[in-house]
Amino acid sequence: MSDINVVLTIGLAEELVNRIRELDPRLNVTVLSSAQRQAYRGGHPIWFGYDERQDGASESPEEAKSSLEAILGDTEVILSTYVIYPDLFSLAPRLRWVQLTSAGAENIIDSDFLREGVTVTTASGIHAVPVGEFVLGIMLAFAKGLHKAVRGQMEHEWLSYLPSELQGKTAGILGMGAIGSQIARYAKAFGMRVIATRRSAERPLAGEQSGFVDVDELVPPSQLNRILSACDYLVIAVPLTAETRHMIGEAELRAMKPSAVLINISRGAVVDEKMLVRALKEGWIAGAGLDVFEQEPLPKDSELWGMENVIVTPHVSGATPLYVERLVELFCDNLRRYLAGEPLRNVVDVKRGY
């Protein structure tokens, strides 16, 4: 096998870049300059957790775009954010594999290169621990009234309220991938009953028959209402596909308990946001913990900002100081597989949508 040109489109610490370079002598690893990274994503903002320090390059935007396109011409493998260069496929005829830094692939599911034999893999799995902890934090915040206490503190008001417990409550989890499984593990550790859906489930399964030791009952998506009517906390952990877009709308929100809390850490468009606002205002459900929204950043005029029964966070549930290290670990494992001709982890299935 000849040299394999690998391009990194995010800023990484030198130690992590060297970890990739030292994996195999056949790898020719190029780290885009800060100007080239800007050109690659068209000025689109990027997650602050990446190393985006300026590298001293004096390229103009035009020069950066030109040099970037020259690099892409010989590229076989790219480590990329979900922001894909618009003409990537036509400019990179040798491209064979794109490793995304995100768990979702909804932004590129209809891209030409997905239909032209280029393999795309996601970073699914590296978010499980931070998202799982985040969800339990939201549950605890609502159970213990911490969202009320913070507002009271800001207004210098001594509030009286009765906190509740998680033990004995029911967590309903939509989606049992790596994140859903981790949430179930944490919820079970708090003494909660866990019921869940999984796309591949064909019939209701109890306990260990489901294949998930932390799930009391697993049901197919067709029996979603069974979960909605039973859960105290509904956690949405499904990918965004044509099938899941607005899967939680008026009928589903009305099917929930008035005392239930909805927690969305997947994608905003899985929930009909306008209907959610109405449900929260009219008391169909008790509250919502939202890390994702149909439009991000959340518009300043959104009613969600000022609602006392809502916790708003800026799409950070999967963030952690260990994110990039885990990403590189996954990428290196997939590089080993690629070099050995073995199946890659987290390959995107166009028909499935993720």
**Structural domain contains residue 158:** yes
The sign one gets for the Cα dihedral 159, 162, 167, 171 is negative
Measured CA distances, 124 to 77, 157, 238 (Å): 18, 43, 12
pLDDT of residue 349: 86
For helices 14-21 and 323-340, the axis angle rounded to 10 degrees is 10
Residue 347 lies in a domain: no
Q: How far apart are CA 112 and CA 99, in angstroms?
A: 16
Same domain as 231, residue 147: yes
Is residue 351 situated within a structural domain? no
Annotation says 185 is catalytic: no
Q: How many domains does the chain have?
A: 2
Between CA 101 and CA 108, with CA 105 as vertex, the angle to 5 degrees is 110
One of 96, 147, 315, 326 is an active-site residue; which one?
A: 315
Q: Is the domain of 188 the same as that of 199?
A: yes
**Active-site position among 14, 22, 243, 296:** 296
Q: What pLDDT score does 56 carry?
A: 59
Residues 243 and 219 in one domain: yes
Q: Are residues 141 and 217 in the same domain?
A: yes
The answer as to whether 290 is a domain residue is yes
Check which CATH number belongs to the domain holding 80 and give it.
Answer: 3.40.50.720
User: Is 55 within the bounds of a domain?
Assistant: yes
93 and 207 in a common domain: no
pLDDT value of position 54: 65
Residue 117's contacts (CB-CB under 8 Å, 6 or more residues apart) are none
For residues 153 and 236, membership in a common domain is answered with yes
CA dihedral angle for residue 295, residue 65, residue 30, residue 17, rounded to 10 degrees: -40
Q: Which helix (H) or strand (E) holds 205?
A: strand 205-206
pTM, full prediction:
0.92
What is the domain range of residue 287?
128-312
Task: Give SS3 for 20.
Answer: helix
> What tens-digit pLDDT sequence spans the chain (354 residues)?
579 999 999 999 999 999 999 999 999 999 999 899 989 988 777 766 677 766 656 788 899 999 999 999 999 999 998 888 877 878 899 999 999 999 888 877 666 656 567 899 999 999 999 999 999 999 999 999 999 999 999 999 999 999 999 999 999 999 999 999 999 999 999 999 999 999 888 787 887 778 889 999 999 999 999 999 999 999 999 999 989 999 999 999 999 999 999 999 999 999 999 999 999 999 999 999 999 999 999 999 999 999 999 999 999 999 999 999 999 999 999 999 999 999 999 999 877 878
Share of the chain above pLDDT 70, in %: 95
Catalytic residue among 37, 198, 199, 267: 267
Active site residue 296: yes
d(CA 215, CA 172): 10
336, 296: one domain: no
Shared domain for 335 and 241, answered yes or no, is: no
In a domain, 348, yes or no: no
Beta strand pairing call for 205-206 and 119-121: unpaired
Q: Is 315 a catalytic residue?
A: yes
Strand order from edge to edge, sheet including 4-8: 27-31, 4-8, 77-80, 97-100, 119-121
